[in-house]
Amino acid sequence: MMDSPFNSRGRTWPRHAPGIDPGAKPLVRFDAVTKRFGGLAAVERLTLDIFDNEFIALLGPSGCGKSTLLRMLAGFEQPDEGRILLDGADIAGVPPHRRPVNMMFQSYALFPHMTVGGNVAFGLKQEDVPKAEIDGRVRDILKLVQLEGFDQRKPHQLSGGQRQRVALARALVKRPRVLLLDEPLSALDRKLREETRFELMELQHRIGLTFIMVTHDQDEAMAMSDRIGVMHQGRLVQVAPPAQIYERPNSRWVAGFVGDVNLIECQLVESGPTGSALECAGVGRLSIAQSVDAPPGSALCVALRPEKVDVASLPPDAADGSHFAGRVLDIGYLGDLSIYRIQLESGFVLKASAANRSRLAAARIARGDSVFVSWSSDAGVVLTQ
Amino acid sequence: MSERTIAARRRWASRLVIVIPALWLAAFFLVPFLIVLKLSLSQTAVAQPPYVPTFDLAAGWQGLRDFFAALSAGNYALLASDSLYVTSYLRSLRIAAISTLILLVIGYPVAYGIARASRRAQLVLVAAVVLPFLTAFLIRIYAWVNILQREGLLNDALLGLGLIGDPIVWLSTDTAIYIGIVYSYFPFMVLPLYATLEKMDESLLEAAADLGCPWWKAFWLITVPLSWPGIIAGALLCFIPIAGEFVIPDLLGGSDSLMIGQTLWTEFFTNKDWPAAAALAVVLLVVLLVPIAIYQHLQAREMGSR
Amino acid sequence: MRRGLSVFNVTALALGLAFLYLPIVILVIYSFNASRLVTVWGGWSTRWYLALLSDNAMLEAAWISVRIAFLSATAATVLGTLAAVALVRGGRFRGRVVFSGLVYAPLVMPEIITGLALLLLFVAVDVERGFWTVTLAHATLTMCFVTVVVQSRLLSFDMSLEEAARDLGCPPLKAFFTVTLPLIFPAVAAGWMLAFTLSLDDLVIASFTTGPGSVTLPMRIYSEVRMGVKPEINAVSTIMIALVAIGVIVAAVVTKRGAIVRERATGDR
């Protein structure tokens, strides 16, 4: 899997990602967009640029406004304030049927009274494309999604995965400027979902199209997208590539939402150009290899991912980083991993996880054992928000 | 700019969807009631149409003042003073209330039985309950005339079985009215009851049994309270139209005491006293206004909640 | 709530259905009675059906009723579907409470009040009463039943289907006609059927709103029945029951097909 060209970790970053080509013009620009429903803001003064050929995921819990954002771009909702630009032009007032964007619906929304071919051809018929061309394009796109020979079937004669691909083909056949995907994999079962992730990524790579995906599944967002926009209560809290979201979250909320984390409340003691020292209630003194731009005494938070914490029966000998003694409260055995909850001498409960690399490793540390936890000085991230 | 006009035109189209049926209902449902109200304040006359005053737009402002001056509450005074009308109203309300109760007692076990049948059987049973409703109402009442008359099948059957010695008079009695009403309104009671019972989670009764509640007690403590919306909807759906029923008492009932629908019919068609008939209608409407309002509220909520 | 039927449930169902169907079955059987006396069985015969064929007044009334039912049901279906769309899709427009009140009130309003009110309207605007006034009155009454039937179907309709059509370049009105209408068609057809049978059935409103020369079938039957039981009426009734039964079977097949398609389309979500 690691050597697959479509794995996000082995993949080149997009050509126009911000910071790589600062002169690039965004394909889609949300400019201070606000949308309220009955006085409640679903999206609030949100600004986001999306570039050509990018695969961006909007990630957030349900009700965070991510679907509303997508529906505003599709034209089903009108922003109350702000502008949405497509190719530099304001698309306010353009009805959905005239926008060069197409959507893959969460429920797929396949027309049950039409065949697969009829569903895929539907959009082209609205454009008055000549019959011969429609036939050709429908055939090509069904081939692309590996549904050749299915054009006479009705949607109810297809499996879940096949329906998903019909929905994809139906949206792609229009050759939109942007493809919008609303929870595209949520209706599939787990195994199929993981296979389909790679299929979608490969497809996007091959046809070179901008994908905007809405999802509440962080694994999906991490594995598939070039950039993730994390949303919370109608606001965009962080936009960055997946690794940065995970390793350098910009707030407690993002750190807690994406992956598992220990949040340790601390006070800044001192900060230099290469590192800083913090006094943490319930844990002790931590040194972190990160410069912090705040006056000494500020209340801060250290985010520490469980897999960055080492658990050992003997005290570690390396002096770099931090180590503390504690006792194992309980162990959650997940097969590939084990999750340890460890109570430090000060009372603070810390989560640590370790891969069970040797078949008997899980048996080595038991509940109630006295252990030592340690982590390197670059393991934690200092969060100011 | 053209996109804006298209959007404006689209808003107009979506407004027409509301405006057309709204205007239709206003013209053919709301306005007629205002006319009934106005007529109930007029006097009967030997004329065509048989009442005064008539509304004359050509007379202008003065005509309008004359028109209002000529209105009177005389018809209502008549309704209140003549015991014929008062008994008629009371009789209608009593018959409507008793038959609604009978319908509830008979309809509930049937609705409950349907709700507990398998999915497939439910569809068939619901269709079986609705089907007679689609065959003409008049015919179904007429069928009972066949059965209930003195030499009819019911007496034949009872005599044949030796249960009675002499034929019983069924037709032209209140019993016949109740039979006819219960028979005709049966689906209106069963369907709303079935709709709520069918939605009920069966594990609730299992939970009650698990907690030590015997089934008959669970029925009273769980099933019945949860089916209140269906009970109310069914009761209103029956009570309101029964109170104004005409055909059933006319064909099956006796002629000595009348329901209000019959009284209204007689005033209108036989006595040609249109204003009195209008006043009778207005009073009936006022009496039924509260149940109708409750019914509408329930209906709107039911449609909104799904 | 499905747990199989107890003896009590089966008894309740059997008695309930017997109560509903026995009178109709008896009526049908006696329409084939050879005897003129309704209560005496004189052997099987179709003489009353033959007698019906020469009863011109009855046949004419039936023809008038069928035409009124057809026209009023069609108008009611259009109006009722519009009202259903307005109620489900209209959102919170001004006057919504009044509007929904106007839609649901005729469902329970005693016919005698509605009939009187409509008659007075026709008198006030001074139109000639007869075929067309009955048609208008029936359309008004039955459109509300159509609305309820179509509305409950629209409420379970997946809005994203229509949105998908618009997303693929279909203007809103066209999206309604190419996607929504075909899918809710079984409900619209059921609404039409219901309106048709209600119109065919109505005595009270027709009696108020009709004029000389336009006697509907229920009015005709009513005036005969008031005189006492007549075997011809049994025959007319049997024919009407047969027509309704055929209509219901056709409707059941149509809606069942729709339901199966719908169920499969949404089945394993």
In DSSP notation, A111-153 reads -TTS-HHHHHHHHHHHTT--HHHHHHHHHHHHHHTT-TT-TTS
pLDDT bracket for residue A18 (50, 70, 90) = very low
Q: What angle do CA A208, A214, A215 make, to 5 degrees?
A: 120
In the numeric block, which tokens belong to residue C29? 């059987």
- Write down the residue that tokens 């594995």 correspond to: A223
- What is the mean predicted confidence (pLDDT) over A341-355? 89
Q: Does A127 touch chain C (CB under 8 A)?
A: yes
CA–CA separation, C65 and C67 (whole Å)? 5
- What is the mean predicted confidence (pLDDT) over B20-24? 90
pLDDT computed for residue B46 by the predictor? 63
Q: Is 50 exceeded by the pLDDT of residue A19?
A: no
Which range is least confidently modeled, A26-30, A68-72, A355-359?
A355-359
For residue A212, the chain C residues in CB contact (below 8 A) are none
pLDDT computed for residue B122 by the predictor? 86
pLDDT bracket for residue A30 (50, 70, 90) = very high
Contact B208, B221 (CB under 8 A): yes
Q: Is 60 exceeded by the pLDDT of residue A17?
A: no
| List of domains in chain B | 76-305 (1.10.3720.10)
CA distance A91 to chain B (A): 10
Contact B236, B103 (CB under 8 A): no
Q: Does C239 touch chain B (CB under 8 A)?
A: no
pLDDT computed for residue B149 by the predictor? 81
- Write down the residue that tokens 């299929």 correspond to: A199
Could you give the angle at which helices B83-116 and B228-243 cross, rounded to 10 degrees? 140
pLDDT computed for residue A136 by the predictor? 93
Strands A210-215 and A55-59: parallel
Beta bridge partners of B43: B52
- What is the number of other CB atoms lying within 10 angstroms of the CB of residue A219? 13
Percentage of chain A modeled with pLDDT above 90: 38
| List of domains in chain A | 8-100+176-254 (3.40.50.300), 260-383 (2.40.50.100)
pLDDT bracket for residue C47 (50, 70, 90) = confident
pLDDT computed for residue B97 by the predictor? 95
Compare B134 and B110 and report the one with higher pLDDT: B110
pLDDT computed for residue A12 by the predictor? 43
CA distance B16 to chain C (A): 9
pLDDT computed for residue C72 by the predictor? 96
pLDDT computed for residue C16 by the predictor? 83
For residue C208, the chain B residues in CB contact (below 8 A) are 268
Closest CA to A339 of A305, A301, A377: A305
H/E stretch holding A300 reads strand A299-304
B14-33 burial, b if ≥16 CB within 10 A, otherwise e? beebbeebbebbeebbebbb
**Contact residues, C window 186-225, toward B, CB-based 8 Å cutoff:** 193-194, 197, 200-201, 203-204, 207-208, 218, 221-222, 225
CB contact under 8 A, A93 and B10: no
For residue C9, the chain B residues in CB contact (below 8 A) are 109, 112-113, 116-117
- What is the mean predicted confidence (pLDDT) over C42-65? 86
CA–CA separation, A229 and A221 (whole Å)? 9
Q: Does A95 touch chain B (CB under 8 A)?
A: yes
pLDDT bracket for residue B68 (50, 70, 90) = low
- Beta strand residue intervals within B161-281, DSSP E: none
Closest CA to A54 of A172, A201, A252: A201
Q: Which residues of B touch A (CB under 8 A)?
A: 3-4, 6-7, 10
pLDDT bracket for residue B116 (50, 70, 90) = confident
- What is the mean predicted confidence (pLDDT) over A13-41? 74
CB contact under 8 A, A126 and C265: no
Q: Is 70 exceeded by the pLDDT of residue A290?
A: yes
Contact B55, B65 (CB under 8 A): no
pLDDT computed for residue A189 by the predictor? 86
CB contact under 8 A, A126 and C169: yes
pLDDT computed for residue C3 by the predictor? 56
Q: Is 50 exceeded by the pLDDT of residue C216?
A: yes
Give me chain B's average pLDDT, please. Answer: 82
Three-state SS for A311? strand
Which range is least confidently modeled, A379-383, B80-84, C121-125?
B80-84
Q: Is 90 exceeded by the pLDDT of residue B96?
A: yes
Which range is least confidently modeled, A255-264, A272-281, B245-254, C202-211?
A272-281
Q: Is 90 exceeded by the pLDDT of residue A14?
A: no
pLDDT computed for residue B43 by the predictor? 76
Which range is least confidently modeled, B52-66, B130-144, B265-279, C94-108?
B52-66
For residue C111, the chain B residues in CB contact (below 8 A) are 241, 244, 246
Q: Does A368 touch chain B (CB under 8 A)?
A: no
Contact C116, C199 (CB under 8 A): no
Residue range B257-296, pLDDT digits in tens: 789 999 999 888 888 888 888 889 998 888 888 888 888 8
CB contact under 8 A, C19 and B186: yes
Residue range A91-123, pLDDT digits in tens: 988 888 889 999 999 989 899 888 999 999 998
- What is the mean predicted confidence (pLDDT) over A19-33? 78
pLDDT bracket for residue B18 (50, 70, 90) = confident
CA–CA separation, A246 and A261 (whole Å)? 10
Which range is least confidently modeled, B104-108, C47-51, C59-63?
C47-51
For residue C244, the chain B residues in CB contact (below 8 A) are 131, 134-136
Torsion region of A45: left, alpha or beta (phi above 0 gives left; psi -120 to 50 gives alpha):
left
Q: Is 80 exceeded by the pLDDT of residue B104?
A: yes
CA distance C253 to chain B (A): 12
Q: Is 50 exceeded by the pLDDT of residue A36?
A: yes
Which range is least confidently modeled, A44-53, B283-292, C105-114, C240-249?
C240-249
pLDDT computed for residue A170 by the predictor? 92
Residue range A158-179, pLDDT digits in tens: 998 999 999 999 999 988 999 9
Which range is least confidently modeled, A100-104, A290-294, B106-110?
A290-294
Distant-in-sequence, close-in-space partners of C32: CB < 8 Å, separation ≥ 6: C44, C45, C46, C48
CA distance B78 to chain C (A): 19
For residue A111, the chain C residues in CB contact (below 8 A) are 161, 164-165, 179, 183
Q: Is 60 exceeded by the pLDDT of residue B2?
A: no
Which range is least confidently modeled, A136-150, B98-112, B124-138?
B124-138
C121 to B34, B35, B44: CA distances (angstroms) = 9, 7, 17
Best A99, A106, A108 residue to mutate vs chain C (most C CBs within 10 Å):
A108
pLDDT bracket for residue A6 (50, 70, 90) = very low
pLDDT computed for residue B93 by the predictor? 93
Chains contacting B (3+ CB pairs below 8 angstroms): A, C
Compare A22 and A137 and report the one with higher pLDDT: A137
Closest CA to A153 of B215, C264, B118: C264
- What is the mean predicted confidence (pLDDT) over A3-24? 45
pLDDT computed for residue B95 by the predictor? 94
Q: Does A97 touch chain B (CB under 8 A)?
A: no
Percentage of chain B modeled with pLDDT above 90: 17
Give me chain C's average pLDDT, please. Answer: 84
Q: Is 50 exceeded by the pLDDT of residue A1?
A: no
| List of domains in chain C | 56-266 (1.10.3720.10)
CA–CA separation, C107 and C103 (whole Å)? 8
Q: Is 90 exceeded by the pLDDT of residue B210?
A: no
Percentage of chain C modeled with pLDDT above 90: 27
Nearest CA in chain B to C207: B269
- Write down the residue that tokens 């009110």 correspond to: C117
pLDDT computed for residue B162 by the predictor? 78
